[in-house]
Amino acid sequence: MTRVQDWGRLVLATSLSAGICGCVEDPAGDAGDSTAETDGTDGSDDVGDTTDTGDTTDTGDTTDTTDTGETTDTGETTDTGETTETGNEDECASLDETTCEDGMLVNCVEDGDQLVWGDPVACEPGFICKADACEELSAAQLSQISLLGTYAEHLRDHTGYPEVLDFEGLQAAAAHAIALGEGGDYTFAKAIYSIYRAVPYGHSAIGLGPLDWSQCYDPEGFAPLRGNSWYGVCARSAGDTSIVTFADEMNPMGLTPGDRVVAIMRGDEIWEGPELFERISREPLCDGGVPSESGRADYNALHVFAIIKPGDAIEVLHPDESLEVIDVPERGDQISCADPFRRPESGELFVSHQREDGVVVVILPTLGSHPDHPFPQPLSLQGYRDWNAEAIELLNEDLAQYSDVTGLVWDIRGNRGGSAEYGMGIFGSLGELAGGLGECHARIVGSSPPEFSDDVEYPFPYQVFVDDPLPALAFDGEQAIVADGMAVSAADWLMYRAADLGVPIFGHGGTGAYSYQTGPSYVSQNWAPVEGEHTGIDSYISGARCLDSEGEPLEGYAPVSVELDYDPQDLADGIDTVLEAAVAEVLAP
């Protein structure tokens, strides 16, 4: 009879014996200022953004933590404990012979007049089978498994994700992956990341490595920063492929806009089709929570160029339908790809222009504090309301320069969030009732199944916006929005309100992250690296659950009216497929 390796029990035992703890930081702290708009905490400039679970994401695949026989960027090879074939392949040569199968010991036994491999049996607690014998786990591995359990329990007890997840199973699978490894940083980071990504909740974040996040920027590191690329190109999802939207002329692989990565070859593995993005999503990142499917697809498409490394190869489908296999060179400087085209306007408060057809396009990279329009200090509710009013008036002043306007398109691709009230106020009144558009409630820490306070932690809007309404946008013509999966937080609230008011959204839905990075329900904690044992973990968790005006959960909701990928030939020709579709809509009679 087969014995099951009890890694859950080992997690518990090592957690109790190691005495590892972490210190809780100021909830207002972020995951490292140097990360700019991709600081792990969804890159948002939030004062108000809320989360909840509506569009529940797939978490069933999250227990698959490591890949076998994989050499990492740090040179570490993950030993799977598996030998070649056991079986007949079932036949073995000698009763003294042993082998391993997924970390368990397999003995050669008699079966009639034949010698065959028996059933796998677990090694003793604290041991794992590698090559052909049980080996004792190292002190580093035991320390890593202990910290894994501590982190998982912290996440379980504080997240605003309302569903009951099998944290015991997640911990057991991740501990097993650590045991099969050699105690290195990559294997530990991948195991921790498998726990993190099992909870797809916005405004959560994780940093791996030194607590200054320096590892996340290191091309030789084991967990790159999310939303970035090492190879001078940016990308978004197009079906099951990663389509290049921006390419520096000097990019080392010679890629051009419209090229699609259809497969990654790593060792004897080929990641392609639906498996391509799923496989990329397992690789550890210094990451922020992405609740929506559209968000995960766009991030995974970009992260092709964050996780590939020398020794890999990519298969590229060019716009002319020719295929090319390209060997992956050394990593270069890291670039941010929040904006799919890396437009200089992405650093501005907003930028507008009028096309020849009369349509005005407003590129809106942020809904938050900006040097051209900073939040007042100290920030009060009235000051916050006034800041939002001034933001809309700045838009009105800008739009006043145009005449014969035939339509208005808001380009919020890569918008990094900020004030939800500003985003929603662009499209109309916030209503006559505090909390009339949405309410957010704090997690009762440690409750199981997760429960939430009846008190409202954050109403949308606050009463001050009811008493003193925001000014209206000085445009009453046809409008549309272009968006992608990297528009986050306050941008999600903007799209929620726009969809409710019938404003069409083109492209891909946003990140679907409705919570916020403030208040008692937002918790940060870190565990510093310990030399020779484990790397560091910097954890940020949102415990807020946001509901819409009907009391339905919002987290993961990513509305889109016309789901549209970039056309390869359009990109090659310098045409913005998504923008042109939105313009056609506002110009339609």
The per-residue pLDDT for range 213-239, each reduced to its tens digit, is 999 999 999 999 999 999 999 999 999
CA distance 336 to 37: 9
Q: Give the count of domains, the chain.
A: 1
CA distances from 579 to 41, 487, 583 (A): 28, 15, 6
What mean pLDDT, rounded, does the chain reach? Answer: 88
The string of DSSP codes covering 139-176 is HHHHHHHHHHHHHHHHHHHH----S---HHHHHHHHHH
CA distances from 126 to 8, 10, 58, 210, 380 (A): 12, 7, 32, 28, 55
CA distance 484 to 364: 13
Q: Which letter does DSSP use for residue 269 in this model?
A: E
**pLDDT of 18:** 32
Residue 255 burial (10 A CB sphere; 0-12, 13-18, 19+): buried
pLDDT of 397 strictly over 60? yes
pLDDT tens digits for range 79-95: 444 444 444 578 999 99
pLDDT tens digits for range 317-349: 999 999 999 999 999 999 999 999 999 999 999
Q: Which residue has the higher pLDDT, 557 or 59?
A: 557
Structure tokens at 334: 């890291």
Q: What is the mean pLDDT of residues 288-315?
A: 98
pLDDT tens digits for range 513-530: 999 999 999 999 999 999
- Residue 372 counted as domain residue: no
Mode of pairing for the β-strands spanning 522-527 and 104-111? unpaired
Structure tokens at 44: 């948002």
The string of DSSP codes covering 194-248 is HHHTTS--TT-EEEESSTT-GGGG-TTSSSPBTTEESSSEEEEEETTEEEEEEE-
pLDDT of 17 strictly over 80? no
Determine contact, residues 388/435, Cβ cutoff 8 Å: no
- Residue 210 counted as domain residue: no
Q: Which letter does DSSP use for residue 301 in this model?
A: H
- Residue 401 counted as domain residue: no
- Residue located via tokens 């310098």: 574
Opening angle at CA 553, ends 552 and 559, nearest 5: 95
Please give the radius of gyration of the chain, using alpha carbons only, rounded to the nearest integer.
Answer: 25
Residue 7 burial (10 A CB sphere; 0-12, 13-18, 19+): buried
* 492 contact partners, CB below 8 Å, separation of at least 6: 49, 202, 417, 510, 511, 512, 513, 514, 554, 557, 558
pLDDT of 37 strictly over 60? no
Determine contact, residues 555/513, Cβ cutoff 8 Å: yes
Strands of 280-385, DSSP E: 287-288, 313-317, 323-327, 335-336, 351-354, 359-363
- Residue 16 counted as domain residue: yes
Distance from chain centroid for Cα 167: 19
Structure tokens at 149: 């359990």
- Residue 396 counted as domain residue: no
**pLDDT of 90:** 83
* 379 contact partners, CB below 8 Å, separation of at least 6: 47
Host H or E run for residue 261:
strand 260-266
Determine contact, residues 362/350, Cβ cutoff 8 Å: yes
* 543 contact partners, CB below 8 Å, separation of at least 6: 158, 159, 160, 442, 443, 445, 521, 522, 523
* 337 contact partners, CB below 8 Å, separation of at least 6: 227, 228, 229, 234, 235, 246, 302
**pLDDT of 88:** 59
Q: Which of 194, 231, 243, 238 is nearest to 312 (CA)?
A: 231
Q: What is the mean pLDDT of residues 65-69?
A: 40
Determine contact, residues 178/148, Cβ cutoff 8 Å: yes
Longest dimension (CA), the chain: 93
Q: Which letter does DSSP use for residue 371 in this model?
A: T
pTM, to two decimals = 0.86
- Residue 213 counted as domain residue: no
* 84 contact partners, CB below 8 Å, separation of at least 6: none
pLDDT of 13 strictly over 80? no
Share of the chain above pLDDT 70, in %: 85
Count Cβ neighbours within 10 Å for each residue of 117-155 and write b for 16 or more, e otherwise.
bbebbbbeeebbbbeeebeebeebbbbbbbbbbbbbbbb
- Residue 236 counted as domain residue: no
Q: Which domain range does residue 158 map to?
A: 1-30+60-199
Sequence letter at residue 563: E
Share of the chain above pLDDT 90, in %: 84
- Residue 286 counted as domain residue: no
563 phi-psi bin (left φ>0, alpha ψ -120 to 50, beta other): beta
Structure tokens at 260: 């699609």
